Structure 1
Amino acid sequence: MNPTITTSSFSFLVLFCLILGHTATQAQEKNEARTFVNPVGQGADPWVIRHKNHYYVCQSTGGIAGRGISVSKSDKLSKLGKAVIVWNAPRKGWNSNQIWAPELHYFNNKWYIYYAAGQSGPPYIYQRSGVLESVTDDPQGKYIDKGLLSTGADPKDQTGNIWAIDVNVAEIRGKLYAVWSGWEKNAATDKTVQHLYLARMSNPWTISSERVKISSPDQQWETGGPLNLNEGPQFLLRKGQVFIVYSTRESWTPEYRLGLLRLKKEAKVLLDAKSWEKTGPVFQGTEQVFGPGHASFTQSPDNKEWWIFYHAKKTTEPGWSRDMRLQKFSWNPDGSPNFGTPIPAGVAIQVPSGE
């Protein structure tokens, strides 16, 4: 015998189902709001810096030809803000074309943007490095050009400098240092080996010491492609330890990857190649993620997590079509970073802690 369902019971059952469905929808929406998926943006050489509860992302504009620099602002690491163009390349001169890999830094209540540029290209044989200084304390405000950085002397070149890109700057042990990717000497072809150089700075726009070569593509995992290179160096500092995370192999291939330099604990000076030890690869592609590289690093809003911000190729075909991705990383027992394996695009990732 079937039980009898009264009108009031049926109405209550319908209402209960509606409430249950609404609650489930709310829970799903809340859960989705707590995740994001890669890529978080388009472009390459992603640079992020956190300042006063905001995340600023600095990028070149105009594609691979690069004709300007933009800065975006967001209160969330997992969501980029609106990009504002803060500087346009001049029509003529050493920095009129090929604006590459700009980085935004904050020193002494001023913002500085380090960038590479060339008078023309391809071929990319004219790249040099320069710096911009903010007029106000607003990173999205106006900047003035502080000129070329001294990245090695070449009396045969009109700029006096040697080919250099990807300048990164940090204060270490109370002193300011610059690290970059460069050539041993200027050449007539961009098929030239790239090394990592380190130098002291007397202020944010002046390199004051001779450059010291601290890394060359000399390991098996750094060689084997059409061009051997070390580039995109980034200082990573934590608990008194000093690391330089850099990119190696070729940026236009799926073999692009990250290597690691570590300042030896007993090292008293940074400007000595013997003070650094190399390991790698520490982050490389998979069957689903191609050519991850040129990373920057930051922490979650509550400072409980560390995140890597990097680019990856969209396809395995040679070229520079890339997008930008975020991923949390951890630390090994010896204090070195553990970047893990790159997460494929479209996979839900928990938003940074405190976001």
Structure 2
Amino acid sequence: MLKTLLTLLAILSLSGCSKSEALPEDTVKTTFQNPVWDGADPWLVKHNNEYVYCYSANNGIALSRSKFMTQKGELKQIWRAPESGWNRACVWAPEIHFIDGHWYVYYAAGVSGPPFIHQRTGVLRSKSDGVFSDYEDMGILNTGDFPDDLSKNIWAIDMTVFQFKGKLYAVWSGWIEQKDTDATSQHLYIQEMENPYTLKGIRVLLSSPEQSWETGGPLDLNEGPEVLQNGDDVFVVYSCRESWLKEYRQGMLQLNSPDADPLNPASWTKKGPVFEGNSTVFGVGHCSFVKSPDNTEDWIIYHSKKTTEPGWDRNVRMQPFGWNPDGTPDFGRAIPAGKALDRPSGEVEIEENQTNQ
């Protein structure tokens, strides 16, 4: 009897030991699914191995800072529209850029809307090199044809900036002339910048909705320009057709050579559509581009409509893309919601390291 009891205790002891030494279940997911979150006009930028997501919220501008592309992190609202002034309403499509030791946020806003006929572009600047620092309002940009007369300023949204050959340039969507209706065709403009909050010279008409794949609906639009640079190659990927329809899609301008003048419209070649929806993904538009955490992959971040019905109910998606033999981006096919995608390269390892600390 004693021998039997000792044997039973030994078995129970070994059983308990085995249980205590079992490896923990893997809690780090290796895949994700689109959409990643609600929203529109997604701007994601990588800086010092962190991802900063910039978006409009509560009539202001908010930021998220995270180690992960697929997950929002720490949140902060950095600016709220004033109660009066040119930018008191309709805050749209902000972007944040790190230039010469400061963060600059470019955004569209107006005095009222709808109709959205008052939209102009403003700039915020961080007071330090920290993305969550305080921001100061640097004022409105003169996106009209008379640099010395702000009273003749012209409608402008979706501004982005890029550096090329030691110069800073701004690209945005605007009207040829100020109108009293927002049912007005939109074009892309480019202009050199004297500094990150001041335009230099006069605006140059870069692209108009003229091709068959960027026209055909109730309103012809070129908007949401975003710059993609790969070595000496420069591309402007932009949205066309109507943002509220399932036909919303992406076109592209390519700078013809590294020595070409970006301010000369003849220096650019238009191609498209380069990215569009399909039977399960609707209204692919307004994107940004980032590298994966380990810098081995290129990703496009974009929004799409939730349904085929006209409207602006949208969510944010992301997927990797490659490059064609001729050096142009190959965005592939818009991937349906709910399909498992491998997380951006290096992201799983970062989360595993954090979990094990």
Taking structure 2 as the reference length, the TM-score comes to: 0.89
Which blocks of at least 5 consecutive residues in structure 2 are unaligned?
Answer: 1-7, 348-357
Pair 1:318 & 2:310 matched: yes
Q: Over residues 24-43 of structure 1, what are the superposed CA-to-partner deviations in whole Å (9 max), with x where a residue is unaligned?
A: x946x55xx11111111111
Report if aligned partners of 1:154, 1:185 keep a CA contact under 8 Å in 2. Answer: no
| 1:262 and 2:258 aligned | no
Contact 2:76/2:132 (8 A) holds in 1: yes
The residue number in structure 2 matching 1:53 is: 49
| Alignment-derived partner of residue 36 in structure 1 | 32
Displacement after TM superposition at 1:267 (Å): 5.2
Q: Counterpart in 1 of 2:118?
A: 126
Q: Give the residue type in structure 1 aligned to 2:182.
A: D
| 1:199-348 → structure 2 map (5 Å cutoff) | 199-265=191-257, 268-348=260-340
1:99 maps onto 2:95 in alignment: no
**1:235, 1:322 → 2: CA distance?**
22
1:227–1:250: 8 Å Cα contact kept in structure 2? yes
Aligned AA (2:275): F
Aligned length: 332
**Structure 1 gap ranges (5+):** 1-7
* Partner residue in 1 for 2:346: 354
Partners of 1:308 and 1:251 lie apart in 2 by 18
Contact 2:98 2:104 in 1 (8 A): yes
- Deviation for aligned residue 1:160: 2.9
The whole-number CA distance in structure 1 between the counterparts of 2:123 and 2:177 is 22
Q: Counterpart of 2:152 in 1: which secondary structure?
A: coil
In 2: Cα distance, 1:254 partner to 1:267 partner? 38
Q: What is the CA deviation profile of residues 153-178 of structure 1, one whole-angstrom value per residue up to 9, with x for unaligned ones?
A: 369x9743110000000111110000
Give the fraction of aligned pairs with identical amino acids, expressed as a percent: 53
1:96 is matched by which residue type in structure 2?
R
Q: Name the CA distance, whole Å, in 1 between partners of 2:107 and 2:33.
A: 29
* Pair 1:72 & 2:64 matched: yes
1:237–1:266: structure 2 CA closer, same or farther, 3 Å change rule? closer
Residues 72 and 140, structure 1, Cα contact 8 Å, conserved in 2: no
Which residue pairs with 1:5 in the alignment?
Answer: none
Moved segments of 4+, more than 6 Å: none
Aligned partners of 1:154 and 1:162 also within 8 Å: no
The 2-side partners of 1:186 and 1:150 are apart by 13
Cα deviations across residues 123-164 of structure 1 (Å, max 9, x unaligned)? 000000010000122212211000111211369x97431100
CA offset digits 1:284-309 (Å, max 9, x no partner): 01111110110000101111000001
> Which letter does structure 2 place at the counterpart of 1:288?
T
Partner of 1:3: none
2:336 and 2:259 mapped to 1: Cα distance?
38
> Which residue does 2:354 correspond to in 1?
none
Quote the Cα distance in structure 2 between the aligned partners of 1:150 and 1:330.
37
SS of the equivalent of 2:266 reads: helix
Structure 2: how far apart are the matches of 1:98 and 1:80? 24
Structure 2 counterpart SS, 1:102: strand
Aligned-partner Cα distance in 1 for 2:150–2:162: 29
* Matching residue within 173, 188, 199 for 1:196: 188
- Report the CA distance shift for 1:158/1:273 in structure 2 as closer, same or farther (over 3 A): closer
Confirm or deny: 8 A CA contact 1:54 1:74 kept in the other structure. yes
Q: Report the AA paired with residue 101 of structure 1.
A: A
1:140-151 map, 5 Å? 140-151=132-143
RMSD: 2.1
